[in-house]
Structure 1
Amino acid sequence: MSRRFHLRYMLPWWLAAAGIVAPAAAETLKNWFNDPFIQVRGAVADCPQPLGPLTNEEEMRRQTHWRSERGTTCWLAGQCDKPNSYLYDAPIARSVQAHFAAEPGFARNSSLWLTFQRRFVWVEGCSADPAVDAAALETFVRAEPYIERVIVNLRTGGGNPPYPLAPPAPLGPQPAR
């Protein structure tokens, strides 16, 4: 992965996680591209939910071109059977979710959410056990076929999570628009 891609993709996430950049309150955040986003563990009560694939409309527009380009590059390079690497995400998500359901690993002491985008899996959440090894978690997820990369952002102990947070859920009924 090029440094340029890494900075372009990860910098907004890191800035949001650090509290430097936050979406405006009036902006609507949506999962514009229907990237799979699932919670597979929920044992840490105070673990904040990651932002996952939610973006505002402006960010969605910025991502549209490079997602199309990066999605087809895999097929053009002969590394994918499907014409777009994003087409692997839903089956990978179902497989990884079934793997977590069948195996008790990380169930007692963690809250974990997974985001799937073009055969990459982001594992974000918290572990109450500081001995939880991110490499073991990566290996657990990577056992599923077709996964190209696993990125683990895990808070162990207290402090701020190393990932951008989902906005708080609105309280009470919302006015009709």
Structure 2
Amino acid sequence: MPRLPRFLRVSLVVLPALFPAYGETLKNWFNDPFIQVRSAVPDCPMPLGPLISEQEMRKETHWRSERGTSCWLAGQCQKPNSYLYDAPIARSVRAHFAAEPGFARNSSLWLTFQRRFVWVEGCSADTAITVAALEAFVRVEPDVERVIINLRGMGDSKSPYPLAPPDAH
């Protein structure tokens, strides 16, 4: 096998150090609920949601453990970890959207659930839908602590949320 030129060998060693996440698979390491509840805007880009690299997962592990139990230690949660609320909240919010098909019907919306927080991301062609109405709709679930809404309006060229890689679809 021919030997690679020195500059190419150095490049192959240096590049991964400069871009550690390059080529890493993004994954939902913590199994955070991530659901799509509306899909009316065909060119709406899918949000990154809970997808992270293995390196990011290792950084977040301690923080998530600490943040998850602090709710219980402060007497604000009955469950010992605030992340334990996420799956039931996701089921309840999904059911609420399913029961009200007319609400935000001209939108494409994805929801991410983490530690009783709900991120609503996507696109809306529905001028009647407001951030306040969307927040109130999601807050029907009593265990929701906070709702964060990042919507791209029609005509906006840039998404206000991080995007999933094309292979995540």
Instruction: State whether TM-score is above 0.5.
Output: yes
Offset of 1:72 from its aligned partner? 0.1
CA distance in 1: counterparts of 2:127 and 2:158, whole angstroms = 14
Matching residue of 2:159: 161
CA distance in 2: counterparts of 1:139 and 1:133, whole angstroms = 10
2:96 equivalent among 96, 99, 105:
99
Q: Is the Cα contact below 8 Å between 1:41 and 1:106 reproduced in 2?
A: no
Equivalenced residue count is 150
1:136 equivalent among 122, 130, 133:
133
**1:169 is paired with a residue of what secondary structure?**
helix
Identity in percent: 79
Matching residue of 2:108: 111
Matching residue of 1:59: 56
Offset of 1:132 from its aligned partner? 2.4
**2:95 is paired with a residue of what secondary structure?**
helix
Q: Is the Cα contact below 8 Å between 1:75 and 1:83 reproduced in 2?
A: yes
Offset of 1:129 from its aligned partner? 2.7
Confirm whether residue 29 of structure 1 aligns to residue 26 of structure 2. yes
Structure 1, unaligned runs of 5 or more: 1-21, 172-177
Confirm whether residue 44 of structure 1 aligns to residue 41 of structure 2. yes
Matching residue of 1:6: none
Offset of 1:105 from its aligned partner? 3.9
Offset of 1:23 from its aligned partner? 8.5
1:85 equivalent among 82, 85, 97:
82
TM-score (norm 2): 0.84
In the TM superposition, structure 1's runs of 4+ consecutive aligned residues that sit over 6 Å from their partners are: none
**1:69 is paired with a residue of what secondary structure?**
helix
Residues 146 and 78 (structure 1), Cα distance of their counterparts in 2 relative to 1, 3 Å cut:
same
Matching residue of 1:17: none
> Within 5 A, what are the aligned runs for 1:71-82?
71-82=68-79
Offset of 1:130 from its aligned partner? 3.8
Offset of 1:77 from its aligned partner? 0.6
Larger radius of gyration: 2
CA distance in 2: counterparts of 1:100 and 1:92, whole angstroms = 12
Structure 2, unaligned runs of 5 or more: 1-18
Matching residue of 1:11: none
CA distance in 2: counterparts of 1:61 and 1:87, whole angstroms = 20
2:143 equivalent among 142, 146, 166:
146
Q: Is the Cα contact below 8 Å between 1:127 and 1:154 reproduced in 2?
A: yes
CA distance in 1: counterparts of 2:139 and 2:51, whole angstroms = 24
Q: Is the Cα contact below 8 Å between 2:47 and 2:161 reproduced in 1?
A: yes
